[in-house]
A = this chain, B = another copy of it.
Amino acid sequence: MQNKIIKFSEDTSFISCGSAVGKCEHEGPIGDCFDIHDKTDQFGMKTWEKAESEMQRLALNTALAKVGYSEHDIDVLFAGDLLNQCVGSSYGLLDFDIPYFGLYGACSTAIEGIMLSAMVCSAGYFDRCAAVTSSHNSSAERQYRTPIEYGGQRSPTAQWTVTGSGAFVIGKGNGVRVSEALPGIAIEKGINDASNMGAAMAPAALDTLLRYFRISGKSAADFDLILTGDLGWEGGSILCELAQANGYDIKKKYNDCGMIIYDREAQDMHAGGSGCGCSAVVLASYIIPKLSRGELSDILVIGTGAMMSPSSILQGESIPAIGHLIRLQKPKGEI
């Protein structure tokens, strides 16, 4: 393994972003930022799975529409979600006549897609890529846990799967830059409680962050924000403690998309948001616009994912997790 941070050409940047979310996300602290929302979470569809696919279609269409693009302007799609066999993406994006790479990185898929898009665009294989991901609370509940009608009691460390889809159009331009990437290594530290994903994922986020700091010689002081995908309040505090124990104080710079998207007091979301859609919609509609306006200038984002399945948990396996890191910077020159 080479100890190398991948660096992209200076013009590798976000051309456009789009998001679609459900009721709870719209009612949260950044609810007004999202492009599209549906208070029924159904998006006009008969099943939760089809609703999830429809969100992906809407998110990508919105991202394209913002810059006047059609499907012909996108050379390749990187997409994935949490549904078995990633059908949220395969059905949701079927209408688009665009070459398709399916990804599975659990909740890290948004960052995995952005990272791969930046690689293939910066290398010149494609002019413009789109990275799309989604999750839906109701499709996730019945697949991973129990149908929502069952009304199961949730553990305090459990997170709430975000109903949302984010789409990112990436290519050469002068927008918010994807400047560096460091892919994550799958890590498993003995956590086998599927109601405590934050604890399972925090060591993976730490591993990538420490590798980044060690290779680059940088620390939290060099960045405006160190943002994780969906560790939530439980996993986020574990990450900060583990970083401290390793000699890096990140607490003042740290935040998490799963903490940003819901109001801890007013909304009863337990340990915070999670799911493929969580980091996707927060990045697409809240963080990247802040970079674009110059309110943030240089940040690290670590997409976190827990790569177990209901079967592997029932078979007594621990939870492998991963953290993919990208560095985002405000547009060059201007504001």
Contact = CB atoms under 8 A, between A and B. Distances in A.
Interface of A: 1-2, 6, 47, 49-50, 71-72, 74-76, 80, 82-87, 90-91, 93-94, 97-106, 109, 112, 116, 119-120, 123-127, 143, 182-186, 188, 305, 307-312, 315, 317, 320, 322
B2 A127 contact: yes
A182 B2 CA distance: 28
A91 B185 contact: no
Contacts of A123: 119-120, 123-125
19 contacts: A1-B71, A49-B312, A49-B315, A82-B85, A84-B84, A84-B311, A85-B104, A85-B307, A86-B104, A86-B307, A87-B317, A98-B185, A99-B182, A100-B322, A101-B116, A102-B106, A119-B119, A123-B123, A143-B311
Contacts of A126: 2
Given A1-B98, A2-B75, 17 more contacts: A1-B71, A49-B315, A83-B309, A84-B84, A84-B85, A84-B310, A86-B104, A87-B309, A90-B320, A93-B186, A100-B183, A102-B103, A102-B104, A102-B322, A120-B123, A123-B125, A143-B311
Contact of A87 (B124, B308, B322): B308
Residue among A2, A75, A120, A124 with max Cβ neighbours from chain B (10 Å):
A2
Given A116-B116, A119-B125, A315-B47, A1 B101 contact: no
Contact of A1 (B97, B188, B315): B97
A59 to B, nearest CB: 17
Contact of A184 (B72, B99, B309): B99
Given A98-B1, A185-B98, A80 B104 contact: yes
Given A87-B312, A308-B90, A104 B106 contact: no
A315 B2 contact: no
Residue among A90, A105, A112 with max Cβ neighbours from chain B (10 Å):
A90
A112 B102 contact: yes
A207 to B, nearest CB: 10
Residue among A84, A98, A109, A308 with max Cβ neighbours from chain B (10 Å):
A84
Nearest to A8: B125
A100 B116 CA distance: 12
A22 to B, nearest CB: 20
Contacts of A119: 119-120, 123, 125
Nearest to A90: B307
Contacts of A74: 1
A112 B120 CA distance: 14
Contacts of A188: 94
A320 B71 contact: no
A75 B1 contact: yes
Contacts of A76: 183
A72 B185 CA distance: 13
A183 B99 contact: yes
A131 to B, nearest CB: 13
